[in-house]
Amino acid sequence: MFMNLLYTEWIKIKKSSLFIILLISPMLSIVVGYFTMFDFGGNQWISPFFQMIMIHAVLFLPLLAGIFSAAVCRYEHAHGGWKQLLALPLNRAQIYVSKLLIICLFMALTQILFLLGLFLVGMIHGYTDPFPWEFILIRLAMGWLGCLPIISLQLWVSTAWASFAAPVALNVIFTLPNLLVANSEKFGPWYPWAQPFLGMALTDNTGFTFSIETLVFVILGSFFLFLIFGITYFSRKAM
C-alpha cells in the first residue's frame, strides 16, 4: 500500500512543471562555474565547485525545498483531493511520509544534476586533475541532509495552507537572510536555512562537514520535531 502511495505521488508530480524547475539551479550554477573568477588553489575542480554553491546552496536549495513541498500538496488543495484521498482506507501518516519522501527524492535529483553541471564545467575548461570524488560527494550529501529541516517544516505548512504562494513566500523570507547569517559564527550553525550551504561549504577533514551539535540539534532534531508536529496536525485535521 505504501509503495502505491509513492507511485501515486510520482504520477501527480510527473504531470506538473517541477521537472523544469528542477533544472534551474543546476543550469545557473553551470554559468557561475564557467565564469570562475577565484582560485582556491589545489585541485582544479574545487574553485568552480565553491563558486557554484554560492548560488546553488545559499539560495536555490532552501527555495526548492519550499517549492517542492508546496507542489506535492497543490493537487489536493486545488481539486478537493484531500477529501477524496482521506476517504480511502489509508493511513494518514503514510500519506504524509510518502509526500515527504517524494520531496527528498527531488532534492537528491537536484544534487545529482548539480554534480553533472560541475562535470560539464570541468569538461569545458579541460581540467586534467583527478575528480575529487570523496570531497564532492560528501558535500553533496551534507547539502541534501541540511535541507531536511526545511522540507519537514515546509511540508507541514503546505498541508495547513491551501495557497501555493503562501508557504513559498514564507520560505523566501527565511532564505533571503542566508547571505548574512551563513557567515555568522554565532548564528549560522543554528539557522536551519543556512545548513544546506554550510554542509557544502565547510572544509574540515572530519568526513561530516557539520559539527555534532548542529547535526544532532539543528538538523536531525528539528527535522524530527517538525515531522512529528506535521504528522500530528495532518492526522487530526478535518479536510
| Ranges of each domain in the chain | 2-236
Give the cell for residue 187: 548564528
pLDDT at 159 over 80: yes
Percent share of the chain, pLDDT over 70: 94
Q: Mean pLDDT across the stretch 2-10? A: 76
Angle (nearest 5°) at CA 176 between 147 and 214: 40
Least confident of 124-133, 143-152, 178-187, 202-211: 202-211
pLDDT at 154 over 80: yes
CA distance 157 to 155: 5
Band (pLDDT 50/70/90 cuts) for residue 64 is very high
pTM of the predicted protein model: 0.91
By the 10 Å C-beta count (0-12 exposed, 13-18 middle, 19+ buried), 59 is classed as buried
pLDDT at 146 over 90: yes
Q: What is the pLDDT of residues 162-210, one digit of tens each?
A: 888 899 999 999 999 988 888 888 888 889 999 999 999 876 544 556 8
Q: Mean pLDDT across the stretch 219-230? A: 95
39 vs 58, more confident? 58
Across the chain, mean pLDDT equals: 87
Query: Which residue, among 239, 63, 73, has the nearest Cα to 158 in the 3D structure?
Result: 73
In this predicted structure, what is the pLDDT of residue 205?
A: 47
Q: What is the pLDDT of residues 84-116, one digit of tens each?
A: 777 767 788 888 999 999 999 999 999 999 999
In this predicted structure, what is the pLDDT of residue 1?
A: 65
pLDDT at 73 over 70: yes
In this predicted structure, what is the pLDDT of residue 138?
A: 92
| DSSP character string of 120-171 | HHHHHHT--SPP-HHHHHHHHHHHHHHTHHHHHHHHHHHHH---SHHHHHHH
Give the cell for residue 210: 557539520
In this predicted structure, what is the pLDDT of residue 109?
A: 95
In this predicted structure, what is the pLDDT of residue 208?
A: 55
95 vs 3, more confident? 95
